[in-house]
């Protein structure tokens, strides 16, 4: 259940597309879905389909100098403030390593992390 007063109006805006097709490829300016269509984008949000403790893996994510996420996390899965991945600029990992904590709402934690990420993007 979505408990947010702005979600539905946000995804119904003219400049927003909610895609559920599988992604075949991510390019610098677009995604190509498995149906062969290319979708230009400003932001890509991946929010389902992952095992909780694998975080973004098994994706072949690469950072500075081609660093693979599997290599970066070979000894320890870590992120600054549970959001920012060292050597992976412009990547934000919501509810990453060390979140959520057991005595705090996941929804509240997500809202705090989202607000912090938006501050960084605006800056």
**Same domain as 55, residue 37:** no
**Same domain as 65, residue 26:** no
- More confident position, 71 or 102: 71
Domain that holds residue 123: 51-123
**Same domain as 61, residue 39:** no
The yes-or-no verdict on residue 50 having pLDDT over 70 is: no
The yes-or-no verdict on residue 1 having pLDDT over 80 is: no
**Same domain as 8, residue 23:** yes
The rounded mean pLDDT for the chain is 84
**Same domain as 101, residue 65:** yes
Q: pLDDT band at 66, cuts 50/70/90?
A: very high
Residue 16 vs residues 12, 45, 75: alpha-carbon distances, Å: 7, 12, 39
The Cα 47–Cα 65 span in angstroms is 26
**Same domain as 55, residue 40:** no
- Structural domains counted in the chain: 2
The Cα 2–Cα 101 span in angstroms is 21
**Same domain as 63, residue 86:** yes
pLDDT value, residue 51: 65
């Amino acid at each position: 259940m979505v408990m947010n007063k702005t979600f539905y109006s946000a995804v119904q805006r003219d400049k927003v597309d909610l895609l559920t097709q599988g992604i075949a490829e991510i390019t610098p300016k677009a995604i190509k879905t498995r149906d062969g269509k290319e979708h230009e984008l400003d932001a890509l949000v991946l929010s389902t389909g992952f095992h909780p403790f694998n975080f973004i893996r098994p994706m072949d994510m690469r950072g500075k100098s081609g660093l693979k996420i599997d290599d970066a996390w070979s000894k320890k899965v870590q992120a600054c403030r549970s959001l920012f991945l060292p050597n992976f600029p412009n990547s934000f990992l919501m509810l990453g390593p060390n979140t959520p904590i057991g005595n705090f709402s996941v929804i509240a934690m997500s809202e705090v992390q989202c607000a912090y990420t938006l501050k960084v993007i605006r800056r």
